[in-house]
Amino acid sequence: MGFSLALVMFLGMIGSMIFRRIGMPGLLGMLFVGIVIGPHALDLLDADLMRISPDLRMIALIIILLKAGLGLNRRKIAESGRSTVFMAFVPGVLEGIGIAVLAMWLFGFSFVQGGILGFVIAAVSPAVIVPAMLKLMEKGAGMNKRIPVMILSAASLDDVFAITFFSTFVGIYLGTTTNVVLQFFEIPVAIALGVVFGAVVGVLFVAVFNRIHLRDSGKIIILVSLALFLVSLEHALEDAILIASLLGVMTIGIVIAERRRNLGKRLAVKLDKLWVFAEILLFVLIGAEVDLEIALEVGFSGLLVIVVGLLLRSAGVLLSTLKSSLDGRERLFVVVAYWPKATVQAAIGAIPLSLGITGGSLILAVSVMSIVITAPLGAVMIQRLSKTHLDQGDLQN
């Protein structure tokens, strides 16, 4: 496994450097490297590494979400306005339901099967969006209207809705969900529990280190461990209750930054250094999950599903920002920033197939295709439009 990790890090860094040299986002180079050296192409990676790949990707995601939380506060989130709330569910629900209806006509699915497909595809990718928004926040781009904050906050909630709808449709198909209305009421409960658990962890963290001296490197180890415990708690209780653990992870950072601003800044610097390593691990391993042959199996039909889904998602974003202070160019940027898919699709795309759901292989194929198309397209468009469609003022965060 050591050789495989070395290969991931070395080639991932080289791929990132090459793509940045040609004016493309570095993460595209990492994804490309992952696809090439992964088990579906050259198969250069150890099977043991691929088995623990989801856990490694989760650690990387936790690092960037903690960094995001340390750069936010309640005032910034409040200033991003009601558009954040609407963007948390309107675009995803429109996309998921729209794909469900389209799949009934295109693939002969039932509405429930279509719903499973729709909400696998509907979730946006925190792995792509969060780092991109953090870079914009650091430069001050779009911060006159808190645009990166709005996108970052809404994206973390978007996934809660998508995963809940996905789980509900799977439960209906398998006959394990008896009360659909009650299932949807779990969404606000999950969000509240995520925030509460994250706030408690953040408060305790600050209280302990107000009394105990420890180097910041040690604090980072403890902080990441606590965040992992929170995510593990979600998985341990998932049969009983849903917890928005990734939102909780961001909340930990927010609480620390609000209660001890200087500590928050120092920890953010440490996480920046960790992210150099974690970013390569995250995107190369996501790329390694991609099987282009599976993606090609669905051909034009799969492409049509993804395009229609993106159009509906875009309409949802435009509706959500209709009465906001954003002008037309800024709203267009928000639209494309909400396109990328990768993390959730890589995590749950194969679940319907593993559960024996009819059409599971097709659902996996479309989910893979959505990563291949939207992650690169979204990353490139975010980079390009951020320079032309956002205010470039160097504001203090």
pLDDT in tens, 44-56: 999 999 999 888 9
Quick one: what percent of the chain has pLDDT higher than 70? Answer: 95
Q: Rounded to whole angstroms, what are the CA distances from 119 to 123, 183, 344, 397?
A: 7, 15, 10, 34
Least confident of 57-71, 135-149, 229-243: 229-243
pLDDT in tens, 181-198: 666 677 788 888 989 999
**pLDDT confidence band for 294 (50 / 70 / 90):** confident
Instruction: Give yes or no for residue 80 having a pLDDT over 80.
Output: no
pTM of the model: 0.84
Long-range contacts formed by 297-300: CB under 8 A, 24+ apart: 297/361, 297/362, 297/365, 298/362, 298/365, 298/366, 298/369
Residue 27 phi/psi, 5° resolution?
A: -65, -25
Average pLDDT over residues 197-204: 95
Domains of the chain by start residue, with CATH:
58-389 (1.20.1530.20)
**pLDDT confidence band for 396 (50 / 70 / 90):** very low
Is 142:148 a contact under the CB 8 Å cutoff?
yes
Is 96:165 a contact under the CB 8 Å cutoff?
yes
Average pLDDT over residues 91-99: 95
